[in-house]
Structure 1
Amino acid sequence: MADDKPPLQSEKVDYEVGNSQLVGDDELRREFKPRQVFMFSIACAIGTGLVIGSGGALAKGGPGSLLISYLAVGAAVFFVMTGLGEMAAYLPMSKGFGGYATRLVDPAFGFATGWNYFLKYCIATPTNLTAAGLVIQYWRPDLNVAIWVAVFGSVVIIINLLHVGKFGETEFWLGVIKVAVMTAMIIICLVSALGGAPNKTRTGFAYWQNPGAFASYLFPDSALGRFLGWWACMSQACFPFTGTEVVGMTFGETPNPRKNIPRAVKQTFWRITCFYIIGVLVLGMAVPYDNERLLGAVKAKTSAAASPFVVAAVIAGIPVFADIINACLLVFTLSAASTDIYCASRSIYGLAKDGQAPKLFAKVLSSGSPVWAIAISACFVLLAFMNASQSSGTVFQYFVSLVTIFAVLNWLAIAVSHISFRRALKAQGVDLQSLPYVASFQPYGSYYALFISVLIIIFSGYDAFVPTFSPSTFVLKYLGTVIFIFNVGLWKALKRSRRVKALEVDLVTGRREFELHESAAEAQWGSGIWKRALAKFRR
């Protein structure tokens, strides 16, 4: 079979001059507003992983391990996003992360990346719907979670079928709520630690001294136990960060990508710092890792009872806060489930555009929604009905394990794609100053992100061997990696694809079309100003 090299000819794309949207057949519409992309980039970083999952990490590793692990993983994710920003601003594409992997690395690598991202969000959808059902069970434990899965699943599917602009507006306001709630929780923890809460107890960093900054996990009171506690935090930290790269999926529907993409990417630093780093720092100040409420909440696994921020509020003497946070968590989970279907549909849309999935999934309605891609993505909502016969908490943990590994593999794929992008620029003599956006500390940052990703992929399943071997844990922790490697081998066997050499990387297709489009739009905008001024003068 012929080599599966990326095409060097220009893609057939028509542009409507003066309008930022793509109007070619089966093309996504660039109708996300800058404020929607901005809020999308912030809100996607806030989910159940941060609000709930951080409690388990605090109990296992202590506040010191929690902060260090969030700093390490946060830095890796930041470099993943800045690398993606460089590629997306220079080569705007609507094919998702798999499109860059196909074009810059190897079509087989792109095939595996695209399907990995699709599977990640297909699994994330029932994960968040299960969490939404468990949130409701906090008030109505007598009702089966499957009821709420059906109700909320229908809602998020309908939201995704809306016009892309309306979808963006819906996510914008849900994001505003998420940001407000997360900010309130951080402030409450800080005020509590400084003695401003009803209990009038000023803790400061006292919990870092007693019971201590580093907890022992699996092996009590030992250096090995403290190391495993830190590594448990590293593994857990990946799940809260899994939504950070989601904003990259909006780049195919963002107007003026060379201006708005760098702006959205630069916000990554501030959202990681404000919500993740400061969040876990004040959490460690307000809640000791050996608190009985925290340990009991970790066993609960989901709902407001499992949130360490709620535990902090109860310790501070604000018990009613649990009901408020539980209601807010419902917004968190529904927004996340809606975003999951969006990302899954855009991923398989990109695969179809690259010929790596049936062309049917590249069909787009006049509203800008890839209807068949949304339909296949929505089918995975049915997985959430596993709760009807299994423990909801158990099913939730199964999904979390799979989602985490799929997410880290995505970071690895983006880092490898960016490294190849930089090599291609150097080999083809492209001056970095000609890029719309040049990230700091790159490409070294991508090498760091690649190192952290590989480390976590290899050793994330350590708890499958300690203290005794657990076959189910082993499968859940390594199934995603096996699927990824299998997909790479499958595409190479079917298409005989080969790695794209640096001198062969296509750095032209799409870029020139956007330059012509932006120039024409600016020219029409300028002429419009003169026309309006002349009409005003005549009046």
Structure 2
Amino acid sequence: MVESHEEATSDELHRDFKPRQVFMFSIACAIGTGLIIGSGSALAAGGPGSLLIAYIAIGIAVFFVMTALGEMAAFLPMNKGFGGYASRMVDPAFGFATGWNYFFKYIIAAPTNLTAAGLIIQYWRPDLNVGIWVAVFAIMAIFINCLNVRWIGEVEFCASVVKVVVLVTLILTCFIISMGGNPHHQRTGFGYWNEPGAFAEYILKGPKGRFLGWWACMCQACFSYTGTEVVGMTFGETPNPRKNVPRAIRQTFWRITVFYVLAIVVVGMTVPYNSKELVKATSKSTSAAASPFVVAILLAGIHTMPGVINAGLLIFTLSAASSDIYCASRSLYGLARDGQAPEITGRTLKNGSPVFAVATASVFMALGFLNSSKSASTVFGYFVSLVTPFSVLNWMAILLSHLSFRRALVVQGIPLKALPYTSWMQPWGSYYALFIAFLVLIFNGYDAFVGKGFVARTFVLKYLGPVLFGLNCAWWKLYKRTKRVKAADMDLITGRQEDEIWQAEMSSHLKSG
């Protein structure tokens, strides 16, 4: 019995993430090229008003996704990823589809960021093929993910510091420019909201065009917020999750407010959506030149910062590629622990690294070499189109798991006071976020139908994710004949049984209730 116990626990992840690393890891995953670069194309499509509304609407939804995850993770900390919660609280088939969807999302996101890193290098060395840098940076990311989690956390901590410094610098610079602190001494303020205006027309003319412009901003905002929920993947390797999980979740609100909304406000103050420089940059580049922040700086007559910003963006993409492999490997590890993936991918080294899961996830970095036969920027666009629906499906899985979790609490008579963490406006916030996510998922591929006629390639890229999710769910349900987890039968004990503090609190709440 002793040997079997040791064997069972030898493949567990280590809780070696430090609280400061968890906090900064969440920033590292949340701030990426979607905000710094992708917001430029959204600004050109919808204008500053549409962009701000979209970022606020999606930001609120993402905040509720995070608080939903926080309630579950603080109460039942698991090392099986989001698929583990979906299996336990909805249906094992739903958990199977969720876990594999998360894996698919990040094995696509990794070559996306590797390609972006190569494109950024081309800012200085356009004579070198992007594939060279895909190989170099892939090796770096794989090496980092084979280390103990505390070293992964330290690398991401340092990268996060760089990200915060770069983004804060960009926000302050754009604000100073809009207030007249530029070589032209021109104070724009919110002038661009009046001329050319707050809302741009996209594809069509008139009100329909302005609506499509806003919806383009909504879809792009989803891509920008991709990764905010990734901090949930660290909870299985975080000490004292009852304390550290709520702290990480609460900090999400301030990240959204400061890093996203404020950044979008200052961009709208410094760059007109019809700027020729912006339109040209976003249509031909995915390096720093396409960033609306860089366009704002160049329009102000400052020509020394783009190279510095490009260096910062290189850190952004390399950090993102490393965290992509981390998330993909932990998702695969969780699937293996639930018997939904090859058993070998659930094994770890003595340092706690799920090396076989890391190796499996790393194989798909080779997708970055597709740019050898296609334009790198075109391949980048394909990957972005795939990532967004995968991400929205992840959010929906978390929200549906949370709503089932809340129902089970009511049915089993467990008071909310017994939870280590409860959030404001829940479960209504989860319903709001689920509604927004559903709309984005269904209408994300609008551009395949509107404009120049039906575009089959766009349609496939935008709706491949939902189709794969549905097929995985249906196949596992038929193969294993799984049943939906009823609220009365949901396991809300395993994982808390050895928590004497929680048992004492639970007994006290039940007696007083």
TM range, normalised to the smaller chain?
over 0.9
Q: Equivalent residue for 1:505?
A: 490
Match of 1:512, SS state, is coil
Q: Equivalent residue for 2:447?
A: 463
Q: Equivalent residue for 1:92?
A: 77
Instruction: Note if 1:387 corresponds to 2:371.
Output: yes
Q: Equivalent residue for 1:308?
A: 292
Q: Cα offset for 1:512? A: 1.9
Indicate if the aligned counterparts of 1:41 and 1:267 stay in contact, CA closer than 8 A.
no
Q: Cα offset for 1:301? A: 3.6
Q: Cα offset for 1:41? A: 1.6
Q: Equivalent residue for 1:363?
A: 347
Q: Cα offset for 1:43? A: 2.2
Distance 1:428 1:95, change over 3 A: same
Q: Equivalent residue for 1:492?
A: 477
Distance 1:472 1:416, change over 3 A: same
Q: Cα offset for 1:24? A: 2.2
Q: Equivalent residue for 1:397?
A: 381
Give the aligned residue type for 1:231: W
Match of 1:503, SS state, is coil
Instruction: Note if 1:142 corresponds to 2:127.
Output: yes
For the residues of structure 1 that align with 2:43 and 2:496, how far apart are their CA atoms? 46
For the residues of structure 2 that align with 1:261 and 1:206, how far apart are their CA atoms? 42
Instruction: Note if 1:172 corresponds to 2:151.
Output: no
Q: Equivalent residue for 2:212?
A: 228
Q: Cα offset for 1:225? A: 0.4
Q: Equivalent residue for 1:258?
A: 242
Match of 1:190, SS state, is helix
Q: Cα offset for 1:274? A: 0.3
Distance 1:13 1:103, change over 3 A: farther
| Structure 1 segment 73-88 matched on structure 2, within 5 A | 73-88=58-73
Give the aligned residue type for 1:176: V
Give the aligned residue type for 2:95: G
Match of 1:508, SS state, is coil
Instruction: Note if 1:215 corresponds to 2:200.
Output: yes
Match of 2:227, SS state, is helix
Match of 1:44, SS state, is helix
- Among 277, 280, 285, the alignment partner of 2:269 is 285
Indicate if the aligned counterparts of 1:256 and 1:518 stay in contact, CA closer than 8 A.
no
The one-character-per-residue Cα deviations of 1:209-244 (angstroms, maximum 9, x if unpaired) are: 000000000113x01000000001011110010010
After TM superposition, the score normalised by the length of structure 1 is 0.91
* Runs (5+) with no aligned partner, structure 1: 1-11, 15-21, 520-539
Q: Equivalent residue for 1:184?
A: 169
State the superposition RMSD in angstroms: 1.5
Q: Equivalent residue for 2:14?
A: 29
Give the aligned residue type for 2:363: C
Q: Cα offset for 1:188? A: 0.6
For the residues of structure 2 that align with 1:70 and 1:301, how far apart are their CA atoms? 23
After TM superposition, the score normalised by the length of structure 2 is 0.96
The one-character-per-residue Cα deviations of 1:153-211 (angstroms, maximum 9, x if unpaired) are: 00010011111111110110011000110000000111111111222110000000000
Indicate if the aligned counterparts of 2:176 and 2:182 stay in contact, CA closer than 8 A.
yes
Distance 1:137 1:121, change over 3 A: same
Q: Cα offset for 1:49? A: 0.4
Distance 1:277 1:372, change over 3 A: same
Give the aligned residue type for 1:96: G
* Runs (5+) with no aligned partner, structure 2: 505-513
Distance 1:141 1:33, change over 3 A: same
Give the aligned residue type for 2:275: N
- Among 144, 165, 176, the alignment partner of 1:159 is 144
For the residues of structure 1 that align with 2:284 and 2:350, how far apart are their CA atoms? 45
For the residues of structure 2 that align with 1:249 and 1:199, how far apart are their CA atoms? 47
- Among 394, 415, 422, the alignment partner of 1:431 is 415
Indicate if the aligned counterparts of 2:28 and 2:320 stay in contact, CA closer than 8 A.
no
For the residues of structure 1 that align with 2:396 and 2:180, how far apart are their CA atoms? 43
Identity of aligned residues (%): 65
Q: Equivalent residue for 1:327?
A: 311
Indicate if the aligned counterparts of 2:496 and 2:502 stay in contact, CA closer than 8 A.
no
For the residues of structure 2 that align with 1:227 and 1:153, how far apart are their CA atoms? 40
Q: Equivalent residue for 1:58?
A: 43
- Among 29, 37, 47, the alignment partner of 2:32 is 47
For the residues of structure 2 that align with 1:379 and 1:265, how far apart are their CA atoms? 32
Q: Cα offset for 1:513? A: 2.6
For the residues of structure 2 that align with 1:307 and 1:454, how far apart are their CA atoms? 29
Indicate if the aligned counterparts of 2:174 and 2:296 stay in contact, CA closer than 8 A.
yes
Q: Equivalent residue for 1:422?
A: 406
